[in-house]
């Protein structure tokens, strides 16, 4: 079923996400909601927030969990975390334009991994998001963190990929090194 833009907005505004679940995105072709209870999600979010506080990047920048961003008429994404200039939010809670993001962070689970690796990566790049941090505990090659940079029409031109346990460094103006040593590795299914 394909939704029209007004249907996408209505679906986003009216969706009642059950406790322990998270809305990933609503587009003209799908809505993805997945469980986060009993997952490493909260631990990784807490780790990233702790690194943010330690790096003292607050001032001009705002780290926001689950801030809805607009893909124009294509839909709404809800990154796990994102960074914007503080004045961009300025009381808004719905549909921050995608091109206002300085960093989008997605933390995969079994239900969101494919969308985060493909659809979201392409959308963030096409939308001009300078940095996309993909924390992928379900990567077939083992749990990884990938920083995608230099956005282009079809994807990112550059990326740095590390295994869980290795540090990764964001680029300016958000330059900080993130330790992934405490990121939990999911149990094999």
Residue-wise pLDDT for 26-78, tens only, equals 666 666 666 665 567 778 888 888 888 777 666 778 887 878 887 776 677 88
In a domain, 173, yes or no: yes
The predicted-structure confidence for 5-25, as pLDDT tens digits, reads as follows 566 666 666 777 667 676 666
Query: In which band, very low, low, confident or very high, does the pLDDT at 1 lie, cut at 50, 70 and 90?
Result: very low
Does residue 23 lie within any of the structural domains?
no
Overall pTM surpassing 0.95 (yes/no): no
Residue-averaged pLDDT of the chain:
82
Residue 54 in domain: yes
Q: What domain range includes position 120?
A: 38-65+80-178
Asked if residue 24 is part of any domain, the answer here is no
185, part of any domain: no
| Dist. CA 112–CA 101, nearest whole Å | 20
Tell me if 148 is assigned to some domain.
Answer: yes
The answer as to whether 8 is a domain residue is no
What is the domain-level CATH number for residue 137? 3.90.1570.10
The structural domain count of the chain equals: 1
Q: Is residue 142 part of a domain?
A: yes
């Amino acid at each position: 079923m394909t939704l029209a833009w007004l249907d996408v907005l209505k679906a986003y505004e009216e969706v009642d996400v059950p406790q322990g679940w998270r809305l990933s995105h609503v587009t003209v072709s799908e809505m993805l909601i997945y469980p986060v209870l009993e997952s490493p999600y909260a631990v990784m979010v807490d780790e990233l927030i702790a690194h943010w506080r330690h790096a003292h990047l607050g001032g001009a920048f705002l780290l926001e969990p689950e801030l809805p961003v607009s893909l124009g008429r294509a839909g709404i994404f809800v990154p796990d975390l994102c960074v914007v200039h503080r004045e961009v939010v300025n009381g808004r809670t719905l549909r921050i334009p995608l091109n206002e993001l300085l960093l989008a962070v997605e933390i995969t689970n079994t239900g969101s991994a494919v969308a985060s690796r493909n659809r979201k990566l392409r959308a963030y790049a096409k939308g001009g998001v300078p940095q996309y941090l993909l924390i992928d505990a379900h990567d077939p090659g083992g749990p990884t963190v990938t920083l995608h940079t230099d956005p282009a029409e079809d994807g990112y031109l550059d990326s740095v990929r590390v295994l869980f346990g290795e540090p990764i460094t964001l680029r300016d103006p958000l330059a900080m090194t993130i330790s992934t040593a405490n990121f939990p590795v999911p149990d094999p299914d």
